[in-house]
A = this chain, B = another copy of it.
Amino acid sequence: MTYCVGLCLKDGLVFLSDTRTNAGVDQIGTFRKMTLFQKDNDRFFTLMSAGNLAITQAVKEILLQGQLLNGINLWTAENTHDAAVVVGDAIKQVYDRDHEALEKAGIDFNCNLIFGGQVKNERPRLFNIYSAGNFIEATPETCYFQIGESKYGKPILDRVLSFTTPLNLATKCALISMDSTLNSNISVGLPLDLLVYERDSLKACKLVTLDESNPYFQMIHQLWGERLRSAFNSIDEPSWTGANKDKSISAPAKKMGAVPINHPPAKTKAVKSKAKSKIVKTTKAAKAIKTAKPIKKAAAKAKA
């Protein structure tokens, strides 16, 4: 698996990727998922990849060779949008070559990319490119993309990040998002490739590969767990008595009663009618199914 996150912010772009791949749990490998393209003082692009490694490497190779796709490549595209079209075309070329064989083998054509950068005289831009070669672009409202194992690390991005977050703060946020993912999923692993691209620099400004020995990542890894537990401990526990109204958890919901408590089907008539009233809440289930054995009368009539 993989986790990559790309941010498109007022001051530039942040790219962070892990380096673990796996085919089952007994075939773990280390492969870079970040590729950088730089034409000095003219353009700078970053590509991050998730999905089938053979597919994403094939796409990358086409781009690195500078193959012309509909007459352009990453080095000649007029802007970052056109460069994203080139990346999409490279995916389509690999699809045309491999999809039949993959289908025969029962393997999905799985390729999910984050591509971003800047061409001189335009703003930095960020795209999420799908297996079909089509893509979407980040906006100030939705300023990040994740690919791969994205869910564990999404909450902290949702809580902290906005388009105006300064680059260094956003870098911290991306690293915490990665740390949460590393902690909860062994298919994502160190080292990490991190690039902080400063707007209009047209080059890899801050580029580093982080492993267990990196002082800052060590600090993040240790402190974030501690601070999270402190934050957790700083919130009051629920009050079930209702004595403290602000902390009371026992206030009933407005539109929905409590979960009914089901008791054993009764044997005597008196108890039966009690059981019947308890079971009324489950009538939607009774309507929807036909059980293999005949439904008991009490349940069948429960709606009446």
Q: Please give the residue numbers on chain A whose beta carbons come within 8 Å of chain B beta carbons, in ascending order.
A: 19, 30-32, 34-40, 54, 57-58, 60-62, 64-67, 75, 93, 96-97, 149, 151-152, 154-156, 158-160, 168-169, 171-173, 175-176, 180, 183-184, 191, 193-195, 204, 206-211, 213-217, 219-220, 223-225, 227-232, 234-240, 245-265, 279, 281-282, 284-286, 288-293, 295-296, 299
Contacts and interface: CB of A to CB of B under 8 A. Distances in A.
Given A209-B252, A258-B207, A292-B97, A230 B229 contact: no
Given A64-B299, A211-B255, A256-B19, A58 B289 contact: yes
A93 B292 contact: yes
Determine the main DSSP class of A at the interface with B.
mixed
A68 B230 CA distance: 50
A149 B263 CA distance: 30
Contacts of A169: 237
Contact of A261 (B36, B208, B290): B36
Contact of A285 (B61, B159, B245, B289): B61
A170 B91 CA distance: 47
Contacts of A208: 249-253, 258
Number of copies: 2
A288 B47 CA distance: 19
A32 B151 contact: no
Contacts of A97: 290-292
B254 A213 contact: yes
A66 B265 contact: yes
Given A235-B227, A261-B38, A299-B65, A211 B253 contact: yes
A182 to B, nearest CB: 10
Nearest to A46: B259
A160 B229 contact: yes
A293 B94 CA distance: 11
A216 B279 CA distance: 30
A21 B264 CA distance: 28
Contacts of A57: 284-285, 288-289
Given A206-B240, A219-B246, A172 B232 contact: yes
